[in-house]
A and B are shown apart, each in its own frame.
Chain A
């Protein structure tokens, strides 16, 4: 059975200032599968929280227009990215869309375990398939909090897309914002993903969210400031 869980917490930086989180999470069932979308609004932009929320809603809305079973697997990834981007642009009332610049990570998985991933900007997508962890996000060349984003990048090359097939029990896809991924050293990413999946499998969706919220609230890296959002789809 395909299951999913996710959580999003405001970072200590925003809590201290009494501000809302600039991350957004949307996790919804979809014809026996799941659509998971995670977005991280750029901290320097005035409407980034709204941009992030609009991004996950646009991603969900586009995926929900796919009607016939199986047909969605053949949709050109570029066309899907374009549709999401256009819907996101339409959802924002300002002429300067960069005010709401945001990253977007999207995973759509059908009831058969066939999954497709789209990513614009930083954060991390990890697959756990057949006991192997694979980082699906390209290595970042710059520094922390520098990213490509909806609202600032319009080129197709800014997107990363992947297809994954979840076959065995325990196979999973994890999406997370850089508030988490930047604080997990590369050599520990696999162990991190396995630990998250193991703990989520033990729990109901609601209990998993509660556990994840506690883990992200009590994040162990000293001086961490960022909002943190993680979503997981796994076969159980």
Chain B
């Protein structure tokens, strides 16, 4: 074999070897399935929770008689429905957004959605405004829900509580609110409050809210209710899509244009 011939042979062999090595490297470094999809067959797959970590969002909605005025209850119904629908449509999340819905109106507070995945909520009923404002009972239901480790497991991200009211409580609210804020688990939730109209109890709502940057949001007209819920929706979705879903929730209603209520844009 001549010198040139041997060189050619070596080059050919090493070149091919390089190609083969590159292909092997590529195969080894490229998983068949994305790890985030959990598609790879692993021995420990059977032990990993099949659902993303929950991110609980609990709405405390005032459906007392005064909400029947000026289209408030209709706006609230639409806002809640759009919020749940938006949560349910999100498919690329780091968290499983779960919705809890507590209404207070008439004689009692009612738990309509006991923290279930938003994508599994087929319909949210439209509420009718009637009766008194048993807000204290709503606080108590929220506390019970948050303390229930079956419904809100330890792996859940910090929950979000949203209170919307246009009036003054008609039941004992001080003890239930103190219990909510004093509960070891419930006190860790992010709490936001919205005052609708001039008759809302702003002092109480301020005691409920725990965000010093955004004490109490004000709704002067029905569209403000939807803007507020839109801001909550955007913040929760952003948080659940981020690499660090446990970061504190921040709201900025001013970012939501009054005429931009197309939730499909989220």
Q: A residues near B, CB below 8 A? A: 11-14, 16-17, 43-44, 139-146, 182-185, 188, 191-192, 195-196, 199, 214-215, 217-225
Contacts and interface: CB of A to CB of B under 8 A. Distances in A.
Given A144-B154, A146-B188, A182-B154, A13 B244 contact: yes
A163 B62 CA distance: 53
Nearest to A43: B244
A-B pairs, 5 with minimum CB distance:
A13-B243, A223-B52, A218-B40, A145-B246, A220-B38
B244 A12 contact: no
Contact of B95 (A43, A188, A199, A223): A223
Main secondary structure of the interface of A (DSSP, over half): loop
B185 interface: yes
B243 A221 contact: no
12 contacts: A43-B246, A143-B159, A144-B53, A182-B154, A184-B48, A188-B47, A214-B42, A218-B45, A220-B48, A221-B48, A221-B49, A222-B51
Contacts, number: 121
Contacts of A183: 48-49, 53, 155
Contact of A184 (B47, B158, B159, B245): B47
A199 B95 CA distance: 30
B31 interface: yes
A211 to B, nearest CB: 8
B53 A220 contact: no
B188 A143 contact: yes
Nearest to B52: A223
A18 to B, nearest CB: 11
Given A214-B42, A219-B44, 14 more contacts: A12-B36, A12-B243, A16-B243, A17-B243, A43-B244, A144-B154, A146-B158, A183-B155, A195-B43, A199-B43, A214-B40, A219-B38, A221-B53, A223-B53
B196 to A, nearest CB: 30
Given A142-B188, A144-B156, A220-B50, A196 B244 contact: no
Main secondary structure of the interface of B (DSSP, over half): loop
Contacts of B36: 12, 222-224
A222 B154 contact: no
Contacts of A142: 154, 184-185, 188
B247 interface: yes
Contact of A44 (B95, B188, B244): B244
A218 B31 CA distance: 9
Nearest to A16: B243
A218 B47 contact: no
Nearest to A182: B155
Nearest to B56: A143
Interface string B49-73: 1111100000000000000000000
A145 B38 CA distance: 22
A225 B38 contact: no
B25 to A, nearest CB: 16
B78 interface: no
B181 interface: no
B95 to A, nearest CB: 6
A182 B35 contact: no
B93 interface: yes
A217 B51 contact: no
B94 A192 contact: no
Nearest to B248: A44
Nearest to A181: B155
Interface in B185-199: 185, 188
Nearest to A122: B154
B183 to A, nearest CB: 10
Contacts of B49: 183-185, 221
Contacts of B208: none
Contact of A143 (B35, B96, B156): B156
B157 interface: yes
Given A145-B246, A182-B154, A195-B47, A221 B38 contact: yes
B195 to A, nearest CB: 28
A43 B246 CA distance: 9
A199 to B, nearest CB: 6
A151 to B, nearest CB: 17
A198 to B, nearest CB: 9
Nearest to A230: B44
